[in-house]
Structure 1
C-alpha cells in the first residue's frame, strides 16, 4: 500500500478554508460586538458613594441608574425599633436583618412600590418614609406598614468597599 503524497490542490483547499474562516470572523465580529452595552451604560451600572459625612439619624439620596437611592445611617434606637416589629404586623414580611448588611446602614431604592413616587424621609406613622401621593407609610427599615403599596422598598445589590464607601450595583 502506498502513502498518498500531499498535492498542491490539498494545500490550496486548506489555505482557502482558513482564509474564508478568518474572513467570516472578521465580518461577524462587528455584528456581535455591537450587541454589547456602550460605555455610558457600563458607567451607570455601579456607583461608589462616600458616606463618611453622614451622621447617625440622617439620610442621603444619590442617583443610580436614574433612580434615587436612600442611604440612611440609622441610630441604635431605629435599629432596635426595626428589629422589634412582629412579622405578622407586616404587609410584606421581611426581617430587618435580611434587608441590611450592616445594621447601621440602610441602602434602598427611594421609589414607592405603589406607583413609583419618591417617598419623603422622616415622615409617616412609623418615622420612616411617607409617600404623600397615595398615603403609603414605610418604617425605619423601608418596609411597607400602611397604605396601598404592595411591597417593601427594594434593596439594590451593594457592598462596602471600605468603612467610608458603599458601592451600589
Structure 2
C-alpha cells in the first residue's frame, strides 16, 4: 500500500527548480534594495558619541558640586563630605515622599551623580543650597532636595534621577 502512495507523488521537474531559484534571487534582491533604507535609520556617529561622556573626577574637591552636560541635560557630580554622607544615611526612609536609601542612589558613598532637573516642572536646582547640607534647592517653585538628591520639601513628586554610570578607576566616571 505504501508503494502506491509514493508512486502518486509528482517528481520534481526542471521548471520547479527554476521557479524556486528565481524566487530566492528575488528575495535576495529585495533585501539588498531595502537594506540601505533600514540602515540609514541608525543614529550617526555624533549622536552615538553624545550617548555617553567620560568625566575626570580626580580634581573635584570634597564638598564641591560640578555640573556637566550629558544628552543635553545638566548632571550634578557631588564629592560629598563624610558629614553629608552620614546625614543622608541617617534620614528615616518613611519620612521621605519618594522613599529611597542613600546606598541605593550611590555606587561609592563619597560620590553622588544625579540629573540636575527638578522633577516638578523641569527647572535646574541650585547645588549646595537649601536647608540640607550639601543639598539642592529649586528656586522656581521651592522644591528642596537633600545631599542624596531625594525630595524633602516642596511640590516635586520624585527624587532627582540617577543616570546610568560606572567608575573607571578612582579618577574617572563614565556616564551613559
TM-score, scaled to structure 1: 0.91
| Partner in structure 1 of residue 95 of structure 2 | 89
String of CA shifts for 1:2-28, please: whole Å, max 9, x gaps: xx9976544533432232122111112
| Partner in structure 1 of residue 131 of structure 2 | 125
Residue of 163, 167, 175 corresponding to 1:168: 175
TM-superposed deviation, 1:107: 0.4
d(CA) in 1 for partners of 2:136 and 2:71?
Answer: 21
d(CA) in 2 for partners of 1:88 and 1:151?
Answer: 14
- Structure 2 contact 136–147 (Cα < 8 Å) conserved: yes
Structure 2, gaps ≥5 residues long:
1-6
| Secondary structure of residue in 1 paired with 2:109 | coil
| Secondary structure of residue in 2 paired with 1:72 | strand
TM-score, scaled to structure 2: 0.88
| Secondary structure of residue in 2 paired with 1:162 | coil
- Structure 2 contact 97–152 (Cα < 8 Å) conserved: yes
- Are 1:69 and 2:75 matched, yes or no? yes
Structure 1, gaps ≥5 residues long:
none
d(CA) in 1 for partners of 2:39 and 2:102?
Answer: 43
| Secondary structure of residue in 2 paired with 1:149 | coil
State the aligned residue count: 168
For the aligned residues, what is the CA RMSD? 1.8
- Structure 2 contact 54–173 (Cα < 8 Å) conserved: yes
d(CA) in 2 for partners of 1:111 and 1:33?
Answer: 34
d(CA) in 2 for partners of 1:143 and 1:6?
Answer: 73
Range with greater deviation from structure 2 (70-79 or 85-94): 85-94
- Look at both structures and tell me which one has the larger radius of gyration over its CA atoms: 2
| Partner in structure 2 of residue 53 of structure 1 | 59
Moved over 6 A (4+): none
